[in-house]
A and B are shown apart, each in its own frame.
Chain A
Amino acid sequence: MHAKHFLTRLAVLALTLVMLFSAFPLAAAADSAETDLQDQNVTGTTDQTENQTGSSADEDEEIVTQVDENSYSNYLKKIAGMPKSTKTVVIDLLTGKVNGSGEITSYEGKNAVLLKEGESLDVTVEIPETGIYYMDLEYCAVEYKGQDIELRLRVDGKLPFSDAKSIAFSRNFKDSTGILQDANGNDDVPDMEEVFLWKTVPLKDYVNYVNEPYCLYLEAGTHVISLQVEREALALTTLTLGPEKKLPSYAELKAEYDAAGFKDATTSLFDTMDDYIQAETPALKSSATLIALYDRTSPATLPYSPSKIRRNTIGQEAWSNLGQTLTYEFTVPESGLYEIGIKYRQCYAVGSFVYRDVLVDGVIPCKEFENVVFTYNNAWDYKVLSDADGNSCKIYLEKGKHTLSLEVSLGGWSAIMQEVDVINREFASMYRRITMVTSATPDPFRDYNLEDEIPGLIDDMNRIADNLEKQATALDALCNATGEESASSEALRSAVRDLRICAKKPDEIKRRLANLRDGVTNVSSWLNDNKKQPLEMDYLTVTAPGDKHPVPNANFWEEIVHFFKSFFASFTEDYNSISDSNSEDAVSIWISDGREQMQALKTLINSSFTVESGIPVKLTLTQGGLYEALLAGVGPDLAIGQARITPVNYASRGIAVALDDFDTFEQVKTRFMDGALDCYQMGGKTYGLPVTQNFFMLFYRKDIFQELGLSVPTTWDEFIDVTKTLQSNNMTVRLPYSSITMAGVQDGGIGMKDIFATLFLQRGGEFYSDDMTETQLGSDAGLEAFKFWTSFYTEVGVQVDVDFQTRFRTGEVPMGVENVMMYNTLSAVGSEIRGLWDMAPLPGTVQEDGTVNYTGAESGSACLIFNSAKNYENCWKFLDWYTRADTQHEYGTQVENMLGVAARYYSANLEAFSRLPWKQDELDVMEEQRSRCTVIPEVPGAYFFPRCIDSAFRDVQNKKKNPREVWLREVKTINKELDRKNKELGTGKYAENKEEEGK
């Protein structure tokens, strides 16, 4: 039966599709493909860049295309033959003209210009000779939001190259305490604080793939150089333009040393191994994500304990971004030549190699210290910095204090990656042009005539393949040079193979389209992966030549002993809870999150809560098992990060504590958006507080919208129009849908399951009757919203399961409604579309009177107190402290510091949320969307909504049943369940009966 139906349906579907295709979209697609090409040609010419000169400052971002003709690598090619400068020009920035409220004050011991986000500074410079200049800037960070600092550089009112629109500068952090220990004897991460130091650094690319400092070609004469602060705030003093700095080779350096008569040192800095410079306690670090880590795999890692957590290493994946620096201080007992050694482990870039620049007292002493290579090895390794022949490099150090810094560098990767990045953007843009003709799933039986539809396609393919192959060969050569055999150029080569086949047989393109797409995404993830230069360090040594070097690994017997010790210790050690006191009256808290999150919270509690209130806290990391523990009487006093539905569920069974009567409740309430507590209320009492909150945003690709001349939809009707335009260009859109089969969907409420709740609210719908015992989804608004929502899938043709992240990046889905947290993901992984996408608030529904209702739904997590708690007041004090803006902000920052932007914390506390490191325009749209959110209440039995809505949805989507019929059926089911729950719990209309029974 099924099979037969299925086949007939298929046949009909296939027929309609064929008819549709042959009818209209071809012509449109061809047109747009052509205009697309023309656009790109135009942006490619230098005329365009000339034209831009005259345009106002804000317009230099306006042209958004995937293939960036003005990139720095193209700029370098353009100025390749130009003369090099020989003179140095020092520009006093204090003489510049400040736009905005920037002021000249004394800052950290120097007279400087203070600039805040958005402000800029123009200086007029007299350039003595035409040539290529390198730039050094003296700056100092200013306390502001705490993000990376970004500057935009313009010369004579225009960007010299597109990458100059955001040049990053690092901040400086140091540990304000030593490594701390908790009551169990396990190490905690030290507290950290920012230090504001004057630094002179070259202007460099920290985001893309360029290793060398930026250079600038300037003609002799007067120029205006302007520096605009894109993010954060900083103080500036001077900008130096000068010739390239050449590093001596070690041989040259040695000749210099010999001439000066420097001799080998005779005593090492260290008597015992414990005196080594421990990598986990740097004097300075450029990024707060560089925290002390622990390694318990080897007894040779210092400091060592078989059972306790010892913070003994630093780095790993956290130390992998270009420019991240760790600086160590050490004292030299006598002047002389010293060898420098590093104990490291590079098991993170598998089968690959990473680079570091080693700076002594802030400068790289010789070429051998630049781009030091660390190859892959699962075990620890020890390396003495040495020249190509393996002779150790001896560096002269005066008696006294010195610093040693290690900075992430891309080394040999840089040149290859720059090229691959450019090629891949072309590749992606070519792929998109093909899909605009064929759609993402082409009909294998149709002749698309791609060579004619897209002029120059075959040549492009060959060119891209040639270029990629060239880079793959270069990479292989690099691998051989570093002695690492397995570093993979395979991602590039497989893309080359597919391109070659397609170029040879254009008919094959439609069948191999998926391979081409995989090629694009593989190459871009290859870039993402290999750009990371992770390395872990245990300690550093500075030794007199001839002294014995340490052995990095333990021998077999030591390993065996270590294994047994730590195995038996695992029976008694509890690594899942951290506590400063084992006393009975400690507030016990369960947190269901990652270890880093717990660590961050713990640090905050120690430094703030316990100090302030004197209440000890015991934190435990758990996943699930909450009600079982409560039933058994071993549950916590309070829990954080619980599902949205939990407070009401537990309250209705009488084990959650009502929070309304605590003295500061009214004040705490104002920290969240209006009505944020509605979903934690039952019978007029509040049983939980919101912790995180998320909502939907509209994500869109700026480049594609611009290309097709689309504007961002503000109503759902416009949304459908845009969708249709995109569809006629063989692209599609994304609407969120979480199937109930996914974990957590039932407990997260219906607000964020899909857009139904949003559409219902926008039609003025109310989820519950006044006494909260019945749902009003069966109302006209509900039915209408349901019909409209399902029509997206049945009529407009939106797919339910779409891998939004990937397809948004490839451009197949240039617009989509998604959880705001998609921002994290796209920021963290979408390097190839950086600057090409944006967010907007959700579209609204036009009302009968012509106004537009923009209401949105939200979801989040909660915290609550259980009535088995020992001391309610203490628990409340904790929640009060925990939901404070300062706490939430600190916590969010700490977590992001440790885990990067992918772990951004969406606090429900409004102030804390706005203090997160957003760009102002990002924050504006998000706050706008958030202010439009309405909180959907939760009732016992609310878990039935997701499954019933899902059931109705599937009937309409799969079986094309009448929406009205299935909707009313499911509403009835929901009401029946709600009624049963009310009866069971004696709430709603059963409340009185229960009281009577009680009498």
Chain B
Amino acid sequence: MTNTTVKAPKGAIKPKKNNELTIIGRLQRSMVAYGLMAPFLILFCVFTILPVCFSIYLSFTYFNLMQAPSWTGLDNYIRMFLDDATFLIVLKNTLLFAIITGPLGYLMSFVTAWLINELGPKLRPWMTAVFYMPSLCGGMASMWTLFFAGDTKGYANSILLSVGIIRNPIYWLSDPSYVMTCIIIIQLWMSLGVSFLSFIAGFKNLSKDYFEAAAIDGVRNRWQELWCITLPQMAPQLVFSAVMTISSSFGSTLASQLAGSPTTQYSADTLVTYMNDVGSTRFEVGYAAAITVFMFVLMLLVNYVIRAMLSSFSTE
């Protein structure tokens, strides 16, 4: 029973193979459909597929943005893995950042959405707006530079100073021991984004029948209800949100917005900010492209793993 809701969209994405017709024949038959898809497909190819392919090509070249790229083979990749200490720091940061903010942010979104869903119909839209606000206002992150300002007047410092926990201000965003923690906290605050919204939508679409049936069948508590009834129904949202959260934490440029590019001793630089640094400060776009490609592969892998993990819900 539960499978139907999940399989329907899958079916839409992958049309059943029809072996009787040639490719051209099939194209002709679905002409109208392709025509309708064309605007999106063209834009998608020009602005997504093409750049990805181009950056894969660039990753094998030396390119400084001003002169034509020249082929250098695997040089960029060799340098990346064998001759760049910074890359390793940055990779470590990225994984740490993604592992903490990804799942935590995901969980936070889910729990908040669940709690808000329990609220009355009048309060619910308000609370949704309140919680979604941080990710709506893109520049909001810069508010945190005030909070974590390094002088005695920054909020964090001034609170700690007045309570008497510290005697000297802490340079939150330039002392390598604190930067990463600060950035993670801010990212978590900001993580109630698209995934949160899709959870809210998911909760709204839940069919009441299952809950009634479960109540009759004797569900013991809310946890059991959540685990056995709510979650399986929400599988599409779960997958979508997981992918979104993990990609956003991989792609976060928060560090460079708040703590500069590069951060002190690269303490909070991630692959993306390092790529920006290499590409725009040092004009080594070939190498930057290699980093991008690496990140692309990394994200594909992670997404695959997530899907595999979450698929258990829908098959149960």
- List residues of chain A with CB under 8 Å of any chain B CB: 2, 10, 13-14, 17, 441, 444, 627-628, 630-631, 649-650, 653-655, 739-742, 746, 799-803, 941, 943, 947, 950-951, 954-955, 958, 984
Contacts and interface: CB of A to CB of B under 8 A. Distances in A.
Contacts of B260: 739-742
Contact of A741 (B64, B161, B259, B284): B259
B230 to A, nearest CB: 38
B164 interface: yes
Given A14-B167, A801-B151, A958 B176 contact: yes
Given A441-B161, A739-B260, A654 B171 contact: no
A954 B175 contact: yes
A746 B260 CA distance: 11
Contacts of A655: 66-67
A293 B144 CA distance: 37
Contacts of A803: 151, 153
Interface string B166-197: 11110101111100000000000000000000
A253 B30 CA distance: 91
A654 B66 contact: yes
Contacts of A14: 167
B281 to A, nearest CB: 5
B263 interface: yes
B152 interface: yes
Which A-B residue pairs are the 8 nearest by beta carbons?
A: A741-B260, A653-B66, A801-B151, A801-B150, A951-B265, A655-B66, A739-B174, A958-B175
Interface of B: 62, 64-67, 149-153, 161, 164, 166-169, 171, 173-177, 259-265, 281-284
Given A2-B177, A801-B150, A950 B264 contact: yes
B66 A801 contact: no
Contacts of B282: 941, 943
B264 A951 contact: yes
B176 to A, nearest CB: 7
Contact of B283 (A13, A17, A653): A653
B283 A649 contact: yes
Given A654-B67, A741-B264, A801-B151, A13 B168 contact: yes
A746 B281 contact: yes
Contact of A653 (B67, B150, B177): B67
B66 A984 contact: no
Contacts of A627: 65-66, 283
A740 B262 contact: yes
B279 to A, nearest CB: 11
A649 B164 CA distance: 49
Contacts of B161: 441
A444 B164 contact: yes
B268 to A, nearest CB: 10
B150 A800 contact: yes
Nearest to B83: A980
Contacts of B166: 10
A565 to B, nearest CB: 30
Nearest to B263: A741
Contacts of A740: 260, 262, 264
A802 B151 contact: yes
Contacts, number: 74
A653 B283 CA distance: 9
A52 B150 CA distance: 48
A738 B173 CA distance: 13
B66 A630 contact: yes
A655 B67 CA distance: 8
A799 B149 CA distance: 14
Contacts of B261: 741
Contacts of A941: 282
A943 B174 contact: no
Given A13-B167, A653-B64, A803-B153, 20 more contacts: A14-B167, A441-B161, A444-B164, A627-B283, A630-B66, A649-B283, A653-B283, A740-B262, A741-B260, A742-B260, A800-B171, A801-B150, A801-B151, A803-B151, A941-B282, A951-B265, A954-B264, A955-B265, A984-B62, A984-B284
B313 to A, nearest CB: 38
B171 A631 contact: no
B181 to A, nearest CB: 9
Contacts of B174: 739, 741, 954
12 contacts: A10-B166, A649-B283, A653-B64, A653-B65, A654-B66, A654-B67, A655-B66, A739-B264, A741-B260, A741-B263, A741-B264, A954-B176
Contacts of A741: 173-174, 259-261, 263-264
Contacts of A947: 262
A740 B176 CA distance: 13
A799 B154 CA distance: 15
A742 B153 CA distance: 18
B92 to A, nearest CB: 17
B150 A10 contact: no
A801 B283 CA distance: 31
**Which of A441, A741, A746, A941 has the most chain B CB within a 10 Å cutoff?**
A741
Nearest to B150: A801
A740 B64 CA distance: 23
Nearest to B79: A980
B76 to A, nearest CB: 12
A10 B167 contact: yes
Contacts of B281: 746, 943
**Which of B62, B169, B264 has the most chain A CB within a 10 Å cutoff?**
B264
Contacts of B283: 627, 649, 653
B63 to A, nearest CB: 10
A746 to B, nearest CB: 6
Given A741-B174, A741-B260, A631 B65 contact: yes
Contacts of A630: 66
A990 to B, nearest CB: 14
Contacts of A653: 64-67, 283
Contacts of B173: 741
B183 to A, nearest CB: 12
Contacts of A950: 264
Nearest to B175: A958
Contact of A801 (B167, B171, B265, B284): B171
A176 B68 CA distance: 52
Contacts of B66: 627, 630-631, 650, 653-655
A958 B262 contact: no
A441 B67 contact: no
B263 A441 contact: no
**Which of B149, B168, B174 has the most chain A CB within a 10 Å cutoff?**
B174
**Which of B64, B171, B173 has the most chain A CB within a 10 Å cutoff?**
B64
Contacts of B265: 951, 954-955
Contacts of B67: 653-655
Contacts of A10: 166-167
B143 to A, nearest CB: 16
Contacts of B164: 444
Contacts of A742: 260
A17 B171 contact: no
Nearest to A444: B164
A803 B151 CA distance: 8
A656 to B, nearest CB: 10
Nearest to B174: A739
Contacts of A739: 174, 260, 264
B270 to A, nearest CB: 15
A958 B177 contact: yes
A967 to B, nearest CB: 14
A441 B160 CA distance: 13
A501 B262 CA distance: 47
Contacts of A984: 62, 284
Contacts of B171: 800-801, 958
Nearest to B287: A984
**Which of B152, B166, B283 has the most chain A CB within a 10 Å cutoff?**
B283
A655 B64 CA distance: 11
A742 B264 CA distance: 11
A790 B67 CA distance: 42
A10 B169 CA distance: 12
